[in-house]
Amino acid sequence: MRTARLLAVSALTAATVAAAAPTAWAESASVTPRTVSPGSTVTINVECGFTQTSSTPNTITANSQAFANGTATLHLVGSGGMPGAGGQYQGTARIAGASHFTNSGPNPVGSNSEWSVDGSCPGGGQWNASFTVHRTPGGVHGGIGGTFTESTTAIATGAVLVAGALGATIMTIRRRSTES
């Protein structure tokens, strides 16, 4: 009976450790800054877990529809120091321009839109991270004229007001000069 109980506890312990292992060695990724504007640059950091291969590649690729080029190359910046130790990768990407984030077209977005970046580690593990693109509202369109169309009534009214202001100014100046 003791042997059966010992085997059951051992099997349960092994199953618990096996279930926790992928979580402990899962790939992690982050994007900084988390909120950006169109045309700015983000930094992507990825930490890959152990691999079955003996070599760690010098680069991996990050993919995002929000990137100006669609992809970014991440370079190996650190490793565990032994074969198959995975590695830490880092790279930068330029966010697409404001015209990419418009309110028209096949994928309209508001002033804030959530985007993802993803890729694969050398061992095949998938990673992803998200960031927000904040698109500031556009300014006024200068140089297209006033709120009137050509109106003779508006022009005549403006001319009468200007003439009245000039007349009042001249009268005030004459009064002051005759009083002195």
pLDDT tens profile 139-162 = 555 555 555 556 788 788 888 999
Determine the pLDDT at residue 69. Answer: 92
CA atoms within 13 A on the CB side of 36: 24
Q: How confident is the model at residue 175 (pLDDT cuts 50, 70, 90)?
A: confident
Pick from 91, 102, 103: which is nearest to 38 by CA? 102
What pLDDT, in 10s, does the model give residues 14-66? 444 444 444 344 579 999 999 999 999 999 999 988 776 667 788 999 999 99
Q: Tokens at residue 81, please?
A: 């120091």
Q: What is the pLDDT of residue 180?
A: 64
Structure tokens at 174: 């004459």
Residue spans of the domains in the chain: they are 26-133
- Residues pairing with 131 in the sheet: 115
Residue 24: per-residue pLDDT: 40
pLDDT reported for residue 127: 94
**Residue owning tokens 């079955």:** 52
Beta-ladder partners of 44: 31, 91
CB atoms within 10 A of CB 47: 18
C-alpha to C-alpha distance for 155 and 146, rounded to whole angstroms: 13
pLDDT single digits (tens) 80-129: 655 556 789 999 999 998 888 776 544 556 678 889 999 998 888 899 99
pLDDT of residue 26: 54
Q: Are 131 and 36 in contact (CB under 8 A)?
A: yes
Q: What is the CATH number of domain 26-133?
A: 2.60.40.10
